[in-house]
Amino acid sequence: MAESLFISDLHLCEERPATVALFETFMRQRAPRAGTLYMLGDIFEAWVGDDDRSAVNLTVEQHIAEVATKGVQVFFMVGNRDFLLGGAFAERTGCEILTDPSVVDVCGTDTLLVHGDSLCTDDRAHQTYRAQAYSSEWKRAMLAKPLEERLAIARQYRQASMAGNQLKSDSIMDVNQDTVVQVMRERKVHRLIHGHTHRPAVHDFEIDGQPAQRIVLAQWENQGSVLCWDHDGYHLETVRA
């Protein structure tokens, strides 16, 4: 089956049992019917390393492994919350880590996939943090710390991030359209799918006179949202409890 599903921004954690349950429903009932499942980042609220064997992490891993065993190709692109996720996770679940950015063939159209935070270039503070934290040196140093220390750092970071985001204006937290056009031109695509901003929408515009499209995935809270693509085009599905 050639159908591709796209999800992002579930922010799964122990404090959100309802969202974890929605994910379990989706993985049991819907995902096995697809050909490919793309998870485009911030699936977890925080990921401090593949050695963090929390109950939620184990549940998610088990569901991905089951879906992969059923023959669904699962791709996992990390987001700014779960960018420390790595090879051990991929090995345990049978998913493939997808680089941000990646161009993939979705039903015959080259499609650019990113988590989305790289497009928010008006948020200078995040871009500075991102340039540092995504470096292999920073990640190595972070992962060398004891698990308890990493969990404490993640808690502090989330509190600081929440406080910081309250001070940022709405437009700073969204993508920069010039950056969008620039990366789409560089990658020679006219379709882009991403999450991160929690502003689900389909944006139609033009690049050099050609129609272009940017699809923003929805975050999961009280219900889940899935972008489904097959040879008839795309549609959105809702996952309900």
What does the binding site for Mn ion look like in residue numbers (CB under 5 A)?
42, 79-80, 196
Q: What distance in Å separates the CA atoms of residue 121 and residue 31, rounded to the nearest whole number?
A: 33
Nearer to Mn ion by C-beta: 8 or 57?
8
Q: What distance in Å separates the CA atoms of residue 152 and residue 73, rounded to the nearest whole number?
A: 34
Where is 158: in which H helix or E strand? helix 147-167
Beta carbon of residue 42, minimum distance to Mn ion (angstroms, whole number): 4
Nearer to Mn ion by C-beta: 49 or 116?
116
Two structure tokens written together for 216:
């923003």
Nearer to Mn ion by C-beta: 42 or 174?
42
Point out the residue whose Cβ comes nearest to Mn ion. Answer: 196
Beta carbon of residue 108, minimum distance to Mn ion (angstroms, whole number): 29
Distances (CA, A) of 87 to 45, 93, 94, 110, 151: 19, 10, 10, 26, 20
Nearer to Mn ion by C-beta: 66 or 157?
157
Q: Is-cis flag, bond preceding 32, omega within 30? A: no
Beta carbon of residue 158, minimum distance to Mn ion (angstroms, whole number): 12
Beta carbon of residue 76, minimum distance to Mn ion (angstroms, whole number): 14
